[in-house]
Amino acid sequence: MIILPVAGDSLADTAFALPDNGGYMVAAYVVAAVILLTYALFLYRRSRSL
Amino acid sequence: MTLAQRGRVWTVSGFVLLAAVYVRALAFTPTERNQGLAQKIFYVHVPAAWSAMLAMGLVGLASILYLLLKDARFDRFAAASAEVGTAFSLVMLTTGPIWARPIWGTWWTWDARLTLTLFLFFLFVGYLLLRSAVPEQGLRARYSAVLGICGLVLLPFIHLSVYLFRTLHPQPIVLKPSAPSLPNSMLITLLASFAVFTVLYIGMVMQAYALVAERDAVVA
């Protein structure tokens, strides 16, 4: 049996719901910021006296 | 103001602008319907890849100029650019799999684009290791220039790999012969991110160059 989504039906709502993957986005943004900030601090510590 | 201090100003400005890009990407850029929020990783991953490739491209060009002109400034610039490029390629190689996991269902696949970008990272690391392993300044500059030119040769293969090989990686959406295939709101965020990553690259290279120049002066 094929169930077709109908407006107002919960199945219809899920058919157009965005994928639940916001955690991956947050992880990527945090990882990028941590790598760049760590390297910037590493550069700062070495070049502080220049 | 010294070169290192100017580099710090550029870097701090880059981080302030990066925060602004994060806010724009997360709060004011529409979410793509099929990929959901994971698509927004694109605003960090693609500019990081751009910066890594810019870094290696300039390492290669500076290496050619060093071999032609024997001017130590080109060798110092190549060393600085390679160090900064390593950081950006690390961002590219970590954010890519974080995007791939929800979209492809796997963190990594050995397809042409991914494998070649991993080679790029290894080339950056190898370049830095080579520099630290050769104590004699002229010899070190010559050897590393050859490796830098190899990196430059790799870049077109990375860019064209999505056309030359069957690959899972998405095709270029901005750097291609036809118009960018993105709505304006997304394109503006992406271009802003490109600009900010370039500012960060410039600031970090200025500081790294000052460090390399200082080290060379101490050795001499």
More confident residue, B165 or B141: B141
Residue A12 has pLDDT above 70, yes or no: no
Nearest to B41 among A24, A36, A47 (CB): A24
Is B38 in contact with A32 (Cβ distance < 8 A)? no
Q: How far are the Cα atoms of B32, B48, B207, B211, B219 from residue A49, in angstroms, in the given order?
A: 47, 29, 11, 10, 17
Q: Give the residue from B19, B20, B43 showing the smallest Cα distance to B30.
A: B43
**pLDDT tens, B33-87?**
889 999 999 999 999 999 999 999 999 999 999 999 999 999 999 999 999 999 9
Task: Please give the pLDDT value at position A13.
Answer: 52
User: B87 to chain A: which residues are within 8 Å by CB?
Assistant: 35-36, 39
- What ipTM was predicted for this assembly? 0.93
User: A18 to chain B: which residues are within 8 Å by CB?
Assistant: 31, 33, 36-37
Is A50 in contact with B211 (Cβ distance < 8 A)? yes
More confident residue, B10 or B177: B10
Query: CA B50 to CA B70: how far, in whole Å?
Result: 28
Is B8 in contact with A44 (Cβ distance < 8 A)? yes
Lowest mean pLDDT among A27-36, B24-33, B75-84: B24-33
Residue of chain A whose Cα is closest to the Cα of B1: A50
Lowest mean pLDDT among B29-33, B87-91, B199-203: B29-33
Q: B43, B190 in Cβ contact below 8 A?
A: yes
Kindly calculate the radius of gyration of chain B based on its CA atoms and give it in whole angstroms: 18
For residue B183, what is the DSSP state? -
Nearest-10 Cα torsion for B158, B159, B161, B167: 100
DSSP count for chain B of H helices, then E strands? 6, 0
Average pLDDT, integer, range B24-40: 94
Is B37 in contact with A21 (Cβ distance < 8 A)? yes
Is B4 in contact with A39 (Cβ distance < 8 A)? no
Is B207 in contact with A43 (Cβ distance < 8 A)? yes
Average pLDDT, integer, range A10-25: 75
Task: Please give the pLDDT value at position A2.
Answer: 45
Task: Please give the pLDDT value at position A1.
Answer: 42
User: B50 to chain A: which residues are within 8 Å by CB?
Assistant: none
Residue of chain A whose Cα is closest to the Cα of B41: A25
Q: Which pLDDT band, with edges at 50, 70 and 90, does A49 fall under?
A: confident
Residue A5 has pLDDT above 50, yes or no: no
Nearest to A32 among B37, B84, B91 (CB): B91
